[in-house]
Chain A
């Protein structure tokens, strides 16, 4: 039944579980990749927007510087007026910490500073685009972020206008950027140094000048790609972050928008969990339904098997109680019909057997009793005629007694089959009982033209037994051997003793018993002879088993038959004790 159950599980797994699992895996992967792409696209849009705004911020400052330069150039302002103009801008616009005007050779023309200007004309090595130079951000004396912008002035009096610009507002702008609940933005300069960091606990990276950051690696990758944006996953202090970098054109900085992966994929992960739970429940339901259905199916097969086994064991009343309307029901009904028919056939066979048995018993009784009765009848007819012959009367008496004894033996056999006689248990010498039986049967053997020989152990072979019953067993077996052996044959009676057992062997060189009849040879009313009740071996077997022994037979047709009686050996010490 395990085979069917196993196949059933495989069937359910193949038909229901596997597709569900495959569906689940595919759905989860699709959901995750779809969400990642969608979040990445959204963050890329945010990063690009921020990059554009920062670009605009510097563009505006560039315009302001250009405007200041145009106010100062060619307007015949005195030096102090130029300085006041610059100072007014510095005081009015908090972004500008210092503005200094240089001529083309780098000489200071005017400055907003009350002291020597801190600014200088950018060297050619600092690079720049379209006459605009933006220096790497730094912290000013107050520890606040600043950078320097230098704008090349063309026209009648070429030179430079250079400004130190506070990046406070830029920092605040970066601070205010939130992607989702906890996503933030990071601003890096052209060297990869963090200029602004939207995550509160990471801002100290700015002052510490850290460069080997995951953001810096992402920015480097973006630069090497040459593309506008680049996405990746970086490991932050709060775990994995989905990051998108966007490049700012002027200055050559990079904006990175970071979104905690857990939060970015939060909805997808929640859906994923729901999907997994739904698939799990579906799997459970499928397996449960399959189990219940399979159980009802298999249970009926199991019941059918059980009833079949009971029937085979002889319980002819066992029947299945099929339910449903399917093929299993039909099978159950067919089985019950078959069992009913089997019972009927069995009854018929029994009836026929009883009739055959009765016939055989009747024939056996006729055979066994007709000869003595006929002999007695004949003798009675003769005694009427020669009653005066004293010798004959003696012969008559012997004949009648002998035949009556035969009748009595037949009747005793019948009674023993119906109700076994009680046996006595005494220690007897098996050799002595056999020797006596051989002696008694020797005339009969001689009459039949056979040799009856006893091969007994020298030492007495004691067993626990009933002298009379055991003698009868011996006589039965020896008589059967004589009757089965053709003239000139040999019947041997032997004993063999071991420390624990005593065996008697009676074998002959007779016709042997066919193999198909050996199995029933000890049954009642079974005989290999053409006549007789067939009770001798059955009675012998009962007696031997009543005495605690075993009887067996081996035979080969045409060669002979050997009967072996095996008894527990009774020891001399035990005998003494019993005797004492």
Chain B
């Protein structure tokens, strides 16, 4: 039995537990590789037909649900048809789903859609009427107070190496880490690497750092008079030293972000563009934009050219440190950043309602650009971005691309646009470090998330479980 501790703020912990739980008991038709390409999941292969308007999928044989039923193409077709009703991005152009034989599913589209396959990576194949019954290597036995699973002995991928998985929630990373040290859990979903170095350099615990498809931006409200201006946004980007933030606030565990596109994506241009740290240039640009420093200080003693409110995610101490550094760096160019802590829900609400100037948050980019599309396409209901329609057309070009060449061109155009007309300050990609007790072997670590393959973990011989 593997016990995994999750220590996150309450507003995001529930989602994190649900996501990790979904990895245990359910599977999707296709998976996403590190480079964003789709790889086989419950289907053994697929073909695009009719110029990208038909997708034919071949289901793997002998896949069983946890209730013992054999997974059939008709079941899968039914699940896709039901999902269409939720208006998921990738299914918006789906006109029909049929199962011509027990192992084939044919999806018809009204037009080619680049995001259909990515949509299939997030579509969990579970019984619609009993969503806890999936095809994954573990079966759910309880969800409260802890998410508990046991091994599914008819799993089509083989016999899992562990007997089950329990997810133990903690209020903080520190709590989860202390739980690992006290042998309450065998792995921690996220931990500071320094902590591991300090507390367990004895090699009882192995860490697995990996860059996650989450980026940290300082979002701008494009309805703000100053922030609506491209030259001001550019000046703000030049005023920020991302490397210093990465080093001082994130201890170097991450990667500077230039745009919201997963930098390891197969179509990402090798020569990315980056705003250089240039506070002198930023000041000049702000002066040219008419945002000059006043001749005398205000009543409170401040002498700034612009004051911006900044909402920052307060449930992770790292964001406060980033906010403080941003405040200082922007103050150096005469921008007064007034920091306001808030939880993620509050931030989302205020951003969507336009009640903010800037917001320091974490955004999921995914690895296949569908998240980027959702977040930055101003016509999307789930988008937090208002007043930045510049990339909508480029995102549509990407969506309708049917071959690698067009995809590369579309992404290159997006990267160019995000550089030239920066809608935010893209600060860094977050790195997450998993910590796992060495009593378990997680197999060969190749920068993939070891929590995504728990069923392949094996107890190390001779070590007590």
Contact = CB atoms under 8 A, between A and B. Distances in A.
Pair from one complex: yes
Contacts of A145: 198
B172 to A, nearest CB: 6
Interface of B: 172-174, 177-178, 180-182, 191-192, 194-195, 198-204, 248, 300-302, 312, 314, 316-318, 320, 323-325, 327-328, 331, 339-341
Contacts of A200: 200-203
Given A142-B195, A144-B195, A208 B202 contact: no
Given A200-B203, A204-B204, A141 B331 contact: no
A171 B301 contact: no
A87 to B, nearest CB: 6
A209 to B, nearest CB: 8
Residue from the set A79, A91, A200 with the largest chain B CB neighbour count within 10 Å: A91
A142 B324 contact: no
Nearest to A143: B195
Contacts of A87: 324, 327-328
Interface in A175-234: 175, 199-204, 206-209
B178 A88 contact: no
Given A91-B324, A203-B198, 19 more contacts: A78-B301, A78-B302, A79-B300, A87-B327, A88-B328, A91-B248, A114-B323, A115-B314, A141-B316, A142-B195, A142-B317, A143-B191, A144-B192, A144-B194, A168-B198, A201-B203, A203-B200, A204-B181, A207-B182
Interface string A70-88: 0000000011110010011
Contact of B174 (A140, A168, A203): A140
Interface string A99-142: 00000000000001111000000000000000000000001111
Given A90-B324, A115-B314, A115-B341, A168 B194 contact: yes
A204 B204 CA distance: 9
Contact of B177 (A81, A115, A143): A143
A175 B201 CA distance: 10
A169 to B, nearest CB: 11
Q: Which 6 A-B pairs have the closest CB atoms?
A: A201-B202, A207-B181, A143-B195, A114-B339, A200-B202, A115-B341
Residue of B180, B191, B195 with highest tally of chain A CB at under 10 A: B195
Most buried by B among A79, A84, A208: A208
Nearest to B324: A87
A40 to B, nearest CB: 27
Given A114-B339, A114-B341, A141-B174, A203 B201 contact: yes
A203 B320 contact: no
Contacts of A168: 194, 198
Contact of A142 (B192, B248, B312, B314): B192
Given A91-B328, A142-B195, A143-B191, A114 B178 contact: no
A139 B340 CA distance: 25
Contacts of B317: 140-142
Contacts of A114: 312, 320, 323-324, 327, 339-341
Contacts of A91: 248, 324-325, 328
A171 B340 CA distance: 33
B239 to A, nearest CB: 16
15 contacts: A78-B300, A79-B300, A81-B301, A87-B324, A112-B324, A114-B339, A115-B341, A139-B174, A142-B173, A142-B174, A142-B317, A143-B192, A145-B198, A203-B202, A209-B178
A139 B181 CA distance: 13
Contacts of B323: 114
A21 to B, nearest CB: 45
B199 A204 contact: yes
Nearest to B300: A78
Q: Which of B198, B316, B324 counts the most A-chain CB atoms under 10 A from its CB?
A: B198
Q: How large is the interface on A (under 10, 10 to 19, 20 to 34, 35 or more residues)?
A: 20 to 34
A80 B177 CA distance: 36
B300 A171 contact: no
B192 to A, nearest CB: 4
A114 B324 CA distance: 7
Interface of A: 78-81, 84, 87-88, 90-91, 112-115, 139-145, 168, 171, 175, 199-204, 206-209
Q: Which of A88, A175, A200 has the most CB of B within 10 A?
A: A200
A204 B192 CA distance: 15
B314 A204 contact: no
A467 B200 CA distance: 120
A144 B341 contact: no
Contact of A84 (B177, B204, B331): B331
A138 to B, nearest CB: 9
B313 to A, nearest CB: 11
Given A114-B339, A114-B341, A139 B178 contact: yes
Nearest to B336: A80
Given A203-B199, A203-B200, A143 B174 contact: yes
Nearest to B188: A143
Contacts of A175: 198, 201
Contacts of B199: 143, 203-204, 206-207
B320 A113 contact: yes
B301 A142 contact: no
B458 to A, nearest CB: 23
B381 to A, nearest CB: 31
Nearest to A202: B202
Contacts of B301: 78, 80-81
B191 to A, nearest CB: 6
Contacts of A143: 173-174, 177-178, 191-192, 195, 199
B198 A80 contact: no
Contacts of B201: 175, 200, 203
A88 B302 CA distance: 16
A177 to B, nearest CB: 14
Given A80-B302, A203-B202, A141 B173 contact: yes
B320 A115 contact: yes
A14 B172 CA distance: 75
A9 to B, nearest CB: 54
Contacts of B324: 87, 90-91, 112, 114
Nearest to A167: B198
Nearest to A113: B320
Nearest to B329: A91
A84 B300 CA distance: 13
Nearest to A94: B248
Nearest to B339: A114
Contacts of A84: 328, 331
B216 to A, nearest CB: 15
B422 to A, nearest CB: 24
B115 to A, nearest CB: 37
Nearest to B172: A141
A422 B55 CA distance: 141
Nearest to B301: A78
A91 B327 CA distance: 11
A207 B181 CA distance: 6
